[in-house]
Structure 1
Amino acid sequence: MPDKDAGTPRVFLYRHGETEWSKSGRYTGTSEIELTQDGVNQVLASGKILVGAGKLIDPAKVARVFVSPRSRAVHTFQLAFTEADRQALTDAGKVDRTERLAEWGYGLYEGLLTKEIRALRKEHGLDGERAWDIWADGCEGEGGESPQQVTDRIDSLIEEIRALHQGNMHGENPSDVVLIAHGHTLRAFTKRWLGYPMEFPLSMMLEPGAVGVLSYQHHSIEEPAFLVGYGFPLEK
């Protein structure tokens, strides 16, 4: 972070590693699909580079780690952080498994591809004027979530995070937050962090095992921002 913003709290968006369903493009909500070996390697690689003392995600600077309860997210947490760091964070009460970070509830669309979902919706008499868009239309069936339902649970989490950050905008206390979750959920979180409604056409990409960064401009809790690029210090 530039010197003028040094100490400003950050939120790290850590997507779980690849699964067979994420690899094939199948919508994975509540299904417990394990990481592939490539997925394990993705997280080990990003964790080695980004997580640890003096690195981008420094456990000593972390105030809270929020983890989706799905096994693929829990496994990602276990891979990205060393056992010692996980234990220290857990003993300090800084690790929270929360349904607020669970993947979007896909309902009838669980395990389907986008083209299969759109075909199913046509069978149901939907989407006569335009193609299905999850950000505007949500998902059908039991367990299927609307954009407003996802908004509500994410906004609750953002409110809690902002309370952690308030009063620590210049690095007064360790206040970085790590979110370990899923593709749709983390992109939805980004929209809400920036104050956009779910249907706002903000195209985003977040690869399996990758890390994104959110923060604030001008040390201001009222100016949440997306940290598009990050400069790394030269290793000594």
Structure 2
Amino acid sequence: MADKDAGTPRVFLYRHGETEWTKNGRYTGITELSLTEQGEKQVLASGKMLVGRGKLIDPSKLAHVFVSPRNRAKQTFEIAFSEEDRTVLSGKGKVTETTKLAEWDYGIYEGLKTKDIRLLRKEHGLDQEKPWDIWRDGCEGGETAQQVTERLDSLIDTIHGLQAGNMNGENPCDVVLFAHGHLLRAFVKRWLKYPMEFPLSMMLEPGAIGVLSYQHHNISEPAVLVGVGFPLEG
């Protein structure tokens, strides 16, 4: 069957590599942590396989790279792309650090694990009927689901502006997002126009790359690119 969607712009979701808190399931929002040695290896492995000239994420085909302001995301970008490619992209104004990609602000839940958060909320008289769900309930002292929705929708509008006139590959128009586990999964929900509380189960490993695109070369038909074909090098 012919590939009817060939040339359609893509959005690559690049999660930062492992940190010490990633390993033990602690919620990491504003806390600045560096990647572990294993985290650096995860990003380097993904980058070597998928980032570079003639590879899936080809710097010459990028319209923009958006990076979370957290150090672990910036470190991931620096490892994934060569210094030469980073310099060229930055020189062309194609790299933006943005708080719209910062991890969910967990408020008083920062550094806690899910079980501890649920116990704390019970102590606060919350969740008497249903257990805490961040997608529905947000975080005490941090962000609500609606606040995260608003900043992601704003970023999605920006991305649509970059890609809308290039739905058949007229110009290099892929986008890469360097960010975090919860935030990138939230981005997928909003990309697909689902509310945050929509029960869409997703997994994204540290250092892993997800892919979004559009059906039928149509900006109004955002989609998850479930299967990805890999270009031949050379």
Contact 2:55/2:231 (<8 A) preserved: no
1:51 aligns with 2:45: no
Q: What letter matches 1:216 in structure 2?
A: Y
Deviation string 1:87-143 (CA, Å, 9 cap, x unpaired) is 0000000000000000000000000000000000000000000100000000002xx
Q: What letter matches 1:99 in structure 2?
A: T
Secondary structure at 1:166 match in 2: helix
Give the deviation of 1:232 after TM superposition: 2.0
Give the deviation of 1:234 after TM superposition: 4.8
Matches within 5 A, 1:16-95: 16-95=16-95
Give the deviation of 1:231 after TM superposition: 2.0
Give the deviation of 1:235 after TM superposition: 5.1
Q: What letter matches 1:68 in structure 2?
A: S
Matches within 5 A, 1:179-194: 179-194=177-192
1:147 aligns with 2:170: no
Identity of aligned residues (%): 73
List alignment gaps of at least 5 residues for structure 2.
none
1:199 aligns with 2:197: yes
Output the CA distance in 1 between the equivalents of 2:229 and 2:46: 16
Output the CA distance in 2 between the equivalents of 1:212 and 1:233: 16
RMSD: 0.9
Output the CA distance in 1 between the equivalents of 2:186 and 2:68: 14
- Counterpart of 2:166 in structure 1 is 168
Q: How many residues align?
A: 233
TM-score, normalised via structure 2 length: 0.98
Runs of 4+ in 1 over 6 A off after TM superposition: none
